[in-house]
Homo-oligomer: A and B are copies of this chain.
Amino acid sequence: MTEAQRIEAFLSQFERVDAPYGPGDDAALVKRAGSNGECITTDAVVEGVHFTRETFSLEDIGHKALAVNLSDLAAMGATPSWAVCALGLPASFEGRELKALGRGMAALARVHGVTLVGGNITASPALTVTMTVAGNLGPRPLLRSGARVGDEVLVSGPLGLASAGFEVLTAGAAGFERLVQAQRRPVPHLAWASVAAGFASAGLDVSDGLLQDLGHIAKASGVGIGVSSDGLALHIELLKWAGSLESARSHALSGGEDYVLAVTVPRRRLAAFDRALSRAGFSAFSIGRVTSGAQVLLDGRRAPARRGFQHASAS
């Protein structure tokens, strides 16, 4: 059963709710009188699925639990406001371990002005950190459904580092610090997203692999997307680890957990988008174009049917 089928099975029991109030996109939208609305997302990291205690410090785990949620808010162009945290702790978990977990989370919360307003602690066989984070929407939320034929497709950074970092950690290899950090300490691209929200027609965060996630934009917008592998920025550490251009490209196209943003921007707005990004100290990497049709094509050919990144223990 795919993730989408599992979600569908569960949601089939609930009354349908109309957008922009209800499930869809990267986070739920809740209307608010006198504002542009609030965006709510929830995500969990689970021991043995998303991390092991051997390869992640507790600070890393606290950071990552919040980061994956903040990335969902970035994907909507929202500004984070508050968070709640539900912890599932093994019986042996100690006070100093709770402090370390909190330290990693609190440091990231401070950077992005997120206030932890509540939480819960329960026993659990596997260390589990489930967060729910809210953000305030700007005048134009970033949805998956707005892409139009001819729009440019851009990403906010190099791809494939986190999945290569997962391999590095699994192999116990030394070095490759940039790859390992991408896996342990993903950086939510919130500031980039706040610029992009003013220009993009659609967007999301790349958490399950670029080609798979672009498929969500294609489906929601009723368009095709042509990706040019020449546009990909391949980090030199990724090239070194992967050992070949082919393998590095495969990480960039199908690796997951990068939490890089992908947006579509109307071509007439590209120059202004580029200037706005530059002023903020950011850049974007153009990787393709929105097309007619309904498929994601890679270099003009149907993208390989392989699935995006699946967590090793979760598949």
Contact = CB atoms under 8 A, between A and B. Distances in A.
Interface in A24-74: 27-30, 32-35, 40-46, 48-50
B118 A46 contact: no
Given A7-B119, A95-B5, A109 B14 contact: yes
Contacts of A28: 82, 84, 117-118
Interface size class, chain A: 35 or more
Contacts of A123: 46, 49, 311, 313-314
Interface stretch (A97-105, A189-197, A210-218, A277-285): A97-105
A106 interface: yes
Interface string A112-152: 00011111111111101010100000000000000000000
Interface stretch (A85-93, A155-163, A299-307): A85-93
Nearest to A22: B117
Taking the full assembly, how many copies of this chain does it contain? Answer: 2
Give the residue among A82, A311, A313 with the most B Cβ atoms within 10 A.
A82
Contact of A117 (B12, B21, B87): B21
Contacts of A245: none
A163 to B, nearest CB: 17
A246 interface: no
A88 B128 CA distance: 9
A46 B124 contact: yes
A115 B23 CA distance: 10
Contacts of A44: 86, 88, 120, 122, 124, 130
Contacts of A27: 118
A196 B118 CA distance: 24
A82 B30 contact: yes
A119 B115 CA distance: 21
Contacts of A89: 6
Contact of A121 (B6, B110, B132): B6
Contact of A23 (B93, B106, B118): B118
A185 B13 CA distance: 18
A29 B34 CA distance: 19
Contacts of A122: 43-46, 49-50, 314
A22 B40 CA distance: 17
Nearest to A116: B14
Given A23-B116, A88-B128, A9 B95 contact: yes
Contact of A87 (B10, B84, B85, B93): B10
Given A14-B102, A40-B84, 10 more contacts: A1-B94, A7-B119, A13-B103, A28-B82, A28-B118, A43-B120, A44-B130, A49-B122, A123-B311, A124-B128
